[in-house]
């Protein structure tokens, strides 16, 4: 099958209800350039701000990232946010998941141990990830299945540690991506458009990029081909792309989004939104190259993964400004 980059170009060429706008592409590139010049964006870590994420460049952090990226999907609610309060700070969405993992580890629950979560039950999963309001995390049963399946595979194939999978990739992002897709079914994020198989691999790619970002491109996080990783097609980054005009939706799609329509994973609208988002970020990267935007050697390169981090963070930092832009609602384990 085509990889995400090739799939995205194909989808963009066939899209009916989603279009990539070059004027908007230039606006995003200009904003990233401005943020770099002002210091608002410093690409020397995988996130812009301080979150309950691992900071130690060690083996335990690799297992931490594997668990959180295995569960990195579907946090939205109809009426409020999935949220966790940790040390007096309220986190939402993916960061709430991270806070829940941190909270569990601080309580002595070995949630990052494959031997533990391979045999976990739904009551324990519910307790670990229950929101601060006492509500279960969305897709609780699916998360249980992913944890048990992933733990079983790690124990049977990789001696209980994702690090051992990482060691087999020969410092190649694509080899690691292929190892993840080959061995862990829940990461196989693909679809069909006009009878052609296309891939997105959101969670698998973000796992690769998270390891690269945490280790700042060194040691086990050194991938000679990290630039082959695309952005991570979800339901939040497209909001930022729409905000800047880099993406445009048809009237029909806009009406569906405005009515809080529930899309199905793999339907044409969803495939077009995700594919065109990836393609738009590839065009943004090319625009930044043409602008000769340079990053000093001690910082991570401005590749598609880093552009994704910027766009995702922009949506979080300016959530009120983007509130009027609806996101596509999908219940899926892939994002």
Angle at 137 between CA 136 and CA 142, to 5 degrees: 110
For CA atoms 147, 272, 198, 222, the dihedral sign is negative
For residue 62, give both structure tokens.
Answer: 């690799």
Burial of 222 (0-12, 13-18, 19+ CB in 10 A): middle
- How many CA atoms does the CB half-sphere of 272 hold within 13 Å? 18
Annotated active-site residue 225? The verdict is no
Angle at 113 between CA 112 and CA 116, to 5 degrees: 115
8 Å CB contact between 111 and 67: yes
Q: Residue 280: helix, strand or coil by DSSP? A: helix
* Residue of 210, 327, 228, 318 lying closest to 277 (CA atoms): 327
Q: Give the C-alpha separation, 151 to 157, whole Å.
A: 10
DSSP state of 76: B
Angle at 272 between CA 300 and CA 306, to 5 degrees: 5
Which is catalytic among the residues 69, 189, 210, 234?
Answer: 234
Spell out the alpha helix ranges (H) of 184-236: 202-214
Angle at 189 between CA 187 and CA 194, to 5 degrees: 165
Residue 241 falls in which region: left (phi positive, over 0), alpha (psi -120 to 50) or beta: alpha
Active site residues: 234
């Amino acid at each position: 099958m085509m990889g995400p980059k090739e799939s995205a170009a194909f989808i963009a060429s066939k899209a009916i209800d989603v279009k990539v706008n070059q004027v908007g592409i230039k606006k995003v590139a200009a904003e990233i350039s401005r943020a770099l010049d002002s210091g608002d964006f410093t690409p020397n870590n995988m996130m812009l701000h301080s979150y309950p994420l691992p900071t130690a460049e060690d083996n335990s952090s690799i297992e931490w990232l594997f668990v959180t990226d295995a569960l990195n999907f579907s946090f939205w609610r109809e009426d409020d946010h999935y949220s966790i309060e940790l040390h007096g700070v309220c986190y939402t969405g993916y960061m709430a998941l991270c806070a829940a993992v941190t909270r569990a580890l601080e309580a002595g629950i070995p949630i990052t141990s494959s031997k533990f979560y391979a045999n976990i039950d739904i009551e324990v999963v519910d307790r670990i990830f229950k929101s601060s309001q006492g509500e279960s995390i969305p897709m609780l049963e699916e998360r249980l299945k992913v944890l048990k399946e992933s733990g079983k595979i790690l124990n049977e194939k990789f001696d209980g540690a994702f690090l051992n999978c990482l060691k087999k990739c020969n410092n190649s992002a694509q080899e690691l991506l292929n190892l993840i897709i080959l061995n862990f079914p829940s990461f196989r994020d693909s679809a069909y458009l006009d009878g052609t198989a296309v891939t997105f691999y959101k969670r698998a790619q973000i796992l690769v990029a998270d390891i690269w970002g945490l280790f700042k491109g060194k040691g086990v996080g050194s991938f000679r081909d990290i630039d082959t990783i695309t952005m991570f097609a979800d339901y939040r980054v497209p909001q930022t792309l729409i905000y800047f005009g880099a993406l445009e939706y048809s009237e029909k799609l806009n009406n569906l989004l405005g009515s809080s329509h529930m899309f199905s994973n793999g339907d044409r609208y969803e495939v077009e939104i995700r594919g065109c988002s990836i393609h738009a970020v590839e065009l943004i990267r090319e625009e930044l190259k043409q602008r000769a935007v340079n990053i000093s050697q001690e910082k991570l390169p401005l590749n598609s993964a880093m552009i994704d981090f910027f766009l995702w963070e922009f949506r979080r930092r300016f959530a009120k400004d983007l509130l009027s832009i609806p996101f596509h609602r999908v219940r899926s384990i892939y994002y």
